[in-house]
Amino acid sequence: MVSLRFLLCFLYISSTYATIVSHDGRAITIDGHRRVLLSGSIHYPRSTPEMWPDLIKKGKEGGLDAIETYVFWNAHEPTRRQYDFSGKLDLIRFLKTIQDEGLYGVLRIGPYACAEWNYGGFPVWLHNMPGMVFRTTNKSFMDEMQNFTTMIVDMVKKEKLFASQGGPIILAQIENEYGNVMGPYGESGKAYIKWCANMAQSLDVGVPWIMCQQNDAPQPMLNTCNGFYCDNFVPNNPNTPKMWTENWTGWFKQWGGKNPHRTTEDVAFSVARFFQRGGTFNNYYMYHRGTNFDRTAGGPYITTSYDYDAPLDEYGNLNQPKYGHLKQLHDVLHSMERTLTYGNISTIDFGNSASATIYKTEEGSSCFFGNGNENSDAKISFQGESYVVPAWSVTILPDCKNEAYNTAKITIQTSMMVKKPNEAEDTPSTLKWSWRPENVDNFILKGKGESTQTQLFDQKVVTNDQSDYLWYMTTVKFKKRDPFLGKSMSLRINSTAHVLHAFVNGKHIGIQHAEDGKFNYVFEKDVKFKSGRNVIALLSITVGLANYGAFFESKPAGITGPIFITGRNGDETIVKDLSAHKWSYKTGLNGFENQLFRTESMSKWSVESVPFNRSMTWYKATFKAPLGNDPVVVDLMGLGKGTAWVNGNNIGRYWPAFISSENGCDAKCNYRGAYHAEKCLTNCGEPTQRWYHVPRSFLNAEGDNTLVLFEEMGGNTSLVSFQTTRVGSVCANVYENKIIELSCDRKPISVIKFASFGNPYGNCGSFEKGTCESSNNTVDILTQECVGKEKCSIDVSTKKFGAPDCSGAARKLAVELIC
Ligand code: GAL
């Protein structure tokens, strides 16, 4: 009896431990099954736990096999050996949500992340440990890195989440793109990478470890590629499958910058080309855009919205056509999985950057026709048939005969998102505000901080990054007959403060921030000093700590000086160096310490004479949650710069006063030719970020909600309003003999604004009829089939729309409808 139970128990264990992950040069093998793997990055703290199931489900419906995330060390260990895995930081809950959806997980522990995340994911206390140097053979660093990595691995193992334990995680990552920066670390860098590999390996996770952009990755680490294109990538070991850990679906945004877009056609092209050339794992970075809540944005100057033009937008809406066009690609690739992972590969070069790749097994063949020429279409004849492959595209033929997919031919609608005003009952057209000044008198009048030093320090060293704000204060005495006083005087500060406010004797003398990415600048203002005691108070504000580059941890932030007072009289100049003066420091602002952002805060707020354009001011308003389920945003147009909270939840830094320059936008954007981050920009001459995400879970559906703002620069609250975001109109522009689905995303279609079958031209919002057009009333046909419905499926054919004579050219249907 005992032995039977033992046997059953043994069988049970071995079946739950059955998932084995290995790799064999051509593919990742899971449970003995070789896989074409499509994956997408969703970073758990960039959304809320309530959003996770929907985001992950949409990933699955979009044809993903896996979800990737980094692990964010500084969020989990904000103070040494004090951990936080609550709320948005509940990593295990996130991984279990992936598991519940039946997807695989890719866990990039790092623990260096980069990711446009504050300090690349490193805690600032780590930097402040004696003798610390990051990412090299520095004993203290290695101990701390090992401690955190081991802790994460142990947590994940305890929950049996590695595939070797029957869980979803098939790959783990150590370090991140170290190969890109390792030169300056010299021999120590090489030794460090070996140490990383051994340390990771010793943790015995039972799944392969990846090291991206590391072409000296020691065995058995898998060396993988990151970039806009990775078809040329060759891993450093013949047994490593060709894997792409970051296919950038767009790019990130910085304050003062514009909105980067990467076209759908080009993302699809890069993926198809990668699989054409033997790729096996493609991860979209990012698949979901996300929000840099609180002070998590990296930098300097990464915006609160981590807008990446990803297939799922910041709020979790489908970004169409990107989401749908990639879904179709995933479906086609999956249908060819067997041939791609087992087939013999042969290629035909047609010249002029056109090629065919044939994957052949005994059961059948699958083909890719690629055209990397950015100007001319390729006419290809293959096995007695002729094909046209548009410039900069790949055609996929799962049976080597029929075109199932072309990366440049989109048959998915374009959804244009709109913002709608808050329609909650009893919502006044403008919010009713109360306010409080931030009390800065102690600093600007008295220069009184909490510690003094005769030196100017880097901001991180003083604040431990517990706050964005650090006061640097000193006093300067002039005797009545001091030679300075008779001259025209100025205060000159060599600054690396991300934003700097300067006060002399209580008067605000100026504010400056970095322009054009120059975070090392000189602030100089004429100042009238008086005889006797003068107080200089400088408020240095960080806007995300550096997250990238060799030795990025020591990039200065704050006021590291030198600081001078100069006096000029004709040709005569005298200079007083204040750098080694007695400086008094104070971290943070009173309002933050007193938690004015908390709903239950007892502090007094005034409703009288609510000020406009007053710096260092707190504002508060109550509002009702918008009805329905559409995602909520707050429009902060009119404000300067600061931080916003909804019901005590920090929704991030805001800075709508930062307007991007007028030039360099290209809404029409040609998808042909290699993408780079400066291509296809929009939003020129507008606030870099005007709308800020308020997750529904931050709101009380019934009753009042509170918005608190801390305004640093001065702004106008009268335009602030809550809105919802949803699909406003939908367009499509498809060739005949395709089926197009039109949908308003669970809202009824209300009217067909434009429709023409023939050779219409133009873009969504500005379609025009062409020279040939069907005599049937296309608008009527579509009105009948679609209006009043949430979606409709249209067979774009001459049978439905008639057969206008377009001189033999393929006919197209262009349609624009309003939701
Ligand atoms: C990569 C890095 C990512 C992210 C990306 C740009 O170099 O690995 O974490 O920063 O660049 O968005």
Which pLDDT belongs to residue 20?
65
Which pLDDT belongs to residue 425?
67
State in Å: Cα 203 to ligand 1 middle: 25
172: part of which helix (H) or strand (E)?
strand 169-174
Is residue 643 pLDDT above 80, yes or no? yes
Split at pLDDT 50, 70, 90, the class of 9 is very low
Span of 2-6, 586-590, 672-676, 698-702 with lowest mean pLDDT: 2-6
Split at pLDDT 50, 70, 90, the class of 6 is very low
Beta strands, E only, 438-571: 451-453, 469-478, 488-495, 499-504, 507-513, 521-526, 532-541, 563-569
Which of 109, 224, 246, 547 is the best mutation target for the ligand 1 pocket, counting ligand atoms within 8 Å of the beta carbon and taking the most?
246
Is residue 747 pLDDT above 80, yes or no? yes
What value does the mean pLDDT take over residues 234-239? 93
User: The domain 736-818 is classified under which CATH number: 2.160.10.10, 3.30.70.1230, 2.60.120.740, 1.10.640.10?
Assistant: 2.60.120.740
CATH 3.30.2010.10 for domain 34-319, yes or no, is no
What value does the mean pLDDT take over residues 670-683? 96
State the Cα–Cα distance between residues 126 and 141, nearest whole angstrom: 8
Using DSSP's 3-state secondary structure scheme, residue 332 falls into helix
Q: What is the DSSP string of 615-678?
A: SSEEEEEEEEPPSSSS-EEEE-TT--SEEEEETTEEEEEE-TT-BPPSS-B-SS----S---TT
Which pLDDT belongs to residue 15?
41
State in Å: Cα 167 to ligand 1 middle: 27
Which pLDDT belongs to residue 16?
43
State the Cα–Cα distance between residues 238 and 222, nearest whole angstrom: 11
Closest CA to 537 of 630, 472, 464: 472
Which pLDDT belongs to residue 326?
98
Mean pLDDT (the chain) is 95
* Ligand 1 pocket, residues with Cβ under 6 angstroms: 113-116, 176-177, 226, 246, 252
CA geometry: angle at 796 spanning 790 and 799, to 5°? 120
Is residue 424 pLDDT above 90, yes or no? no
3-state DSSP helix/strand/coil % of the chain, to nearest 5: 20, 35, 45
Tokens representing 658 are: 């930062």
Question: Position of tokens 């898998």?
Answer: 222
Model confidence pLDDT, tens digit, residues 488-508: 999 999 999 999 999 999 999
Which CATH fold would you assign to the domain 440-588?
A: Jelly Rolls (2.60.120)
Please answer whether residues 558 and 470 qualify as being in contact, where contact means their C-beta atoms are separated by less than 8 angstroms: yes
Q: What is the CATH number of domain 416-438+593-725?
A: 2.60.120.260
State the Cα–Cα distance between residues 412 and 305, nearest whole angstrom: 26
Instruction: State the CB neighbour count (10 A cutoff) for residue 218.
Output: 18
Closest CA to 784 of 801, 772, 798: 801
Give me the active site residues, please.
177, 246
Which of 46, 177, 178, 548 is the best mutation target for the ligand 1 pocket, counting ligand atoms within 8 Å of the beta carbon and taking the most?
177
Helix residue spans in 282-370 (DSSP H): 322-335, 337-342
Q: Does the CA dihedral 743-745-748-752 come out positive or negative?
A: negative
Q: How far apart are the first and last CA of the chain?
A: 68
Surface-to-core class of residue 134, CB atoms within 10 Å of its CB (0-12 exposed, 13-18 middle, 19+ buried): buried
Split at pLDDT 50, 70, 90, the class of 164 is very high
Instruction: State the CB neighbour count (10 A cutoff) for residue 503.
Output: 21
Q: Measured in whole angstroms, how far is the alpha carbon of residue 270 from the centre of its chain?
A: 20
State the Cα–Cα distance between residues 187 and 41, nearest whole angstrom: 33
Model confidence pLDDT, tens digit, residues 553-573: 999 999 999 999 999 888 889
State the Cα–Cα distance between residues 347 and 277, nearest whole angstrom: 9
State the Cα–Cα distance between residues 304 and 255, nearest whole angstrom: 9
Using DSSP's 3-state secondary structure scheme, residue 256 falls into coil
Question: Position of tokens 């895995």?
Answer: 85
Strand-pair category, 451-453 with 469-478: unpaired
749: part of which helix (H) or strand (E)?
none
User: Side-chain half-sphere of 327: how many Cα atoms within 13 Å?
Assistant: 17
Model confidence pLDDT, tens digit, residues 508-519: 999 999 998 899
Decide if 416-438+593-725 and 736-818 have a common fold. Answer: yes
Model confidence pLDDT, tens digit, residues 331-377: 999 999 999 999 999 999 999 999 999 999 999 999 999 999 999 99
Please answer whether residues 28 and 34 qualify as being in contact, where contact means their C-beta atoms are separated by less than 8 angstroms: yes
Which pLDDT belongs to residue 667?
75
Closest ligand 1 atom, CA of 308? Answer: 12
State the Cα–Cα distance between residues 740 and 793, nearest whole angstrom: 6
| Domain ranges (residues) in the chain | 34-319, 341-412, 416-438+593-725, 440-588, 736-818
Is residue 280 pLDDT above 90, yes or no? yes
Is residue 218 pLDDT above 90, yes or no? yes
Closest ligand 1 atom, CA of 116? Answer: 10
State the Cα–Cα distance between residues 265 and 267, nearest whole angstrom: 6
Model confidence pLDDT, tens digit, residues 284-330: 999 999 999 999 999 999 999 998 999 999 999 999 999 999 999 99
Instruction: State the CB neighbour count (10 A cutoff) for residue 252.
Output: 22
CA geometry: angle at 349 spanning 348 and 355, to 5°? 85
State the Cα–Cα distance between residues 245 and 226, nearest whole angstrom: 6
Tokens representing 707 are: 């918005």
Split at pLDDT 50, 70, 90, the class of 1 is very low
Please answer whether residues 292 and 652 qualify as being in contact, where contact means their C-beta atoms are separated by less than 8 angstroms: yes
* Nearest protein Cα to ligand 1, atom 6: 115
* Nearest protein Cα to ligand 1, atom 5: 115
Which pLDDT belongs to residue 81?
98
Is residue 2 pLDDT above 90, yes or no? no
State in Å: Cα 111 to ligand 1 middle: 14
CA geometry: angle at 547 spanning 677 and 635, to 5°? 65
State in Å: Cα 547 to ligand 1 middle: 9
State residue 236 phi and psi, 5-degree precision: -75, 0
Which pLDDT belongs to residue 23?
85
Which pLDDT belongs to residue 696?
98
Split at pLDDT 50, 70, 90, the class of 422 is confident
Closest ligand 1 atom, CA of 114? Answer: 9
Surface-to-core class of residue 276, CB atoms within 10 Å of its CB (0-12 exposed, 13-18 middle, 19+ buried): buried
Is residue 10 pLDDT above 80, yes or no? no
Split at pLDDT 50, 70, 90, the class of 426 is low
Closest ligand 1 atom, CA of 113? Answer: 9
Please answer whether residues 749 and 808 qualify as being in contact, where contact means their C-beta atoms are separated by less than 8 angstroms: no
Is residue 149 pLDDT above 60, yes or no? yes
State in Å: Cα 114 to ligand 1 middle: 6
Tokens representing 414 are: 């374009």
Using DSSP's 3-state secondary structure scheme, residue 120 falls into helix
Structure pTM? 0.95
User: The domain 341-412 is classified under which CATH number: 1.10.3470, 2.60.120, 2.160.20, 2.60.40?
Assistant: 2.60.40
Instruction: State the CB neighbour count (10 A cutoff) for residue 624.
Output: 20
Is residue 801 pLDDT above 80, yes or no? yes
Q: DSSP assignment, residue 114?
A: -
